């Protein structure tokens, strides 16, 4: 206690400066004047900056360009197949005319030779039957079944083995041609006809060829297109994705492709 201080006659202790948060001393303002702009007043706690969520860029920080977004960055929704914004994938769907033209070309490629062989086999069989004479000597005049059996027996006996060779060869070529088309379409999405017209078959979800197995299933499902007077083949004319019934069942679309 000091009685000699005229400014403190009663010996009171001078007020202490308030402590900063967590026991830290408040910042000292510049000498010789009032606290500068932005300096907190004595006893005032400076406002805290809001914390950014983990993974979000800090203030003034630009996320890396040309790479994958970091954890916590909002992901952009993937664009559906065939829509603008999906890199590396074509846009739009193939028209009905190009699809029909591709089927015609493929049919000619794999069907011309078997068709010619079938025609030759039928001509050989017809010439053999016309030269055969049925034996109706044991048939009664009113026994029509006996006459028919005699004609059938003469036709079977006169048919040469060359006929069966031609029919078997034509069938093998037709089946082999079909598997050739399935293999090409499964691996590249294009048969010779589709490649000539600049279209291809891909999975709608991935935009990639289907592979041999799913292409084989798609060829089997194509028979459903012929139901109800072939309406499944005409369905791409008004469908939003130009799909047939087989395309909808296996999840495929036909899209333009560079030649």
Give the pLDDT score at 164.
86
Backbone phi, psi, residue 256, to 5°: -65, 150
Write out pLDDT tens, residues 69-101. Answer: 555 555 555 444 444 444 445 568 999 999 999
Beta bridge partners of 253: 202
- Encode pLDDT of 96-125 as tens digits: 999 999 999 999 999 999 999 999 988 887
User: Percent helix, strand, coil in the chain (nearest 5)?
Assistant: 45, 5, 50
Give the pLDDT score at 126. Answer: 76
What pLDDT digit, counting tens, does each position of 132-181 carry? 556 566 676 666 676 566 666 666 655 677 888 999 999 999 999 999 99
Residue 227 confidence class, pLDDT cut points 50, 70, 90: confident
Q: Which residues contact 168 (CB under 8 A, 6 or more apart)?
A: none
Quote the pTM value.
0.58
What residues pair up with 252 in beta bridges, in sequence order? 203
What are the sequence ranges of the domains in the chain? Answer: 99-256
Query: For residue 128, what are the contacts with CB-CB under 8 A and spacing of at least 6?
Result: 155, 158, 159, 160, 163
Q: At 192, list the tokens.
A: 């010779």
CA distance 185 to 201: 7
State residue 229's pLDDT score.
Answer: 87
Among residues 239, 255, 248, the alpha carbon closest in space to that of 189 is found at: 255
- For the chain, where are the alpha helices, taking DSSP H only? 96-131, 144-158, 161-188, 192-197, 212-221, 227-234, 245-250
Averaged pLDDT for residues 40-49: 57
Which of the four pLDDT bands, split at 50, 70 and 90, describes residue 127? Answer: confident
Q: What percent of the chain has pLDDT over 90?
A: 43
Q: Give the single-character DSSP code of 71.
A: T
Q: Are 219 and 178 in contact (CB under 8 A)?
A: yes
């Amino acid at each position: 206690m000091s009685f000699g201080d005229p400014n403190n006659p009663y010996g009171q202790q001078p007020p202490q400066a308030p402590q900063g948060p967590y026991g830290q001393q408040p910042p000292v303002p510049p000498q010789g004047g009032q606290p500068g702009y932005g300096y907190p007043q004595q006893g005032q706690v400076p406002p805290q900056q809001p914390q950014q969520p983990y993974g979000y860029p800090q203030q003034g920080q630009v996320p890396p360009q040309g790479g994958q977004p970091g954890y916590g960055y909002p992901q952009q929704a993937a664009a559906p197949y065939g829509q603008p914004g999906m890199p590396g994938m074509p846009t739009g769907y193939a028209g009905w005319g190009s699809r029909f033209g591709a089927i015609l070309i493929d049919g000619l490629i794999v069907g011309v030779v078997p068709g010619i062989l079938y025609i030759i086999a039928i001509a050989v069989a017809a010439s053999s039957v016309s030269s055969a004479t049925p034996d109706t000597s044991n048939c009664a005049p009113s026994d029509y079944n006996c006459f028919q059996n005699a004609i059938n027996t003469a036709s079977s006996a006169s048919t040469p083995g060359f006929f069966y060779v031609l029919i078997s060869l034509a069938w093998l070529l037709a089946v082999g041609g079909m598997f050739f088309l399935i293999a090409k379409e499964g691996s590249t999405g294009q048969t010779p006809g589709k490649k000539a017209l600049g279209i291809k078959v891909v999975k709608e979800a991935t935009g990639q060829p289907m592979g041999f197995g799913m292409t084989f299933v798609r060829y089997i499902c194509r028979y459903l297109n012929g139901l109800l007077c072939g309406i499944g083949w005409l369905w791409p004319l008004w469908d939003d994705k130009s799909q047939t019934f087989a395309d909808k069942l296996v999840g495929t679309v036909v899209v333009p492709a560079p030649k």
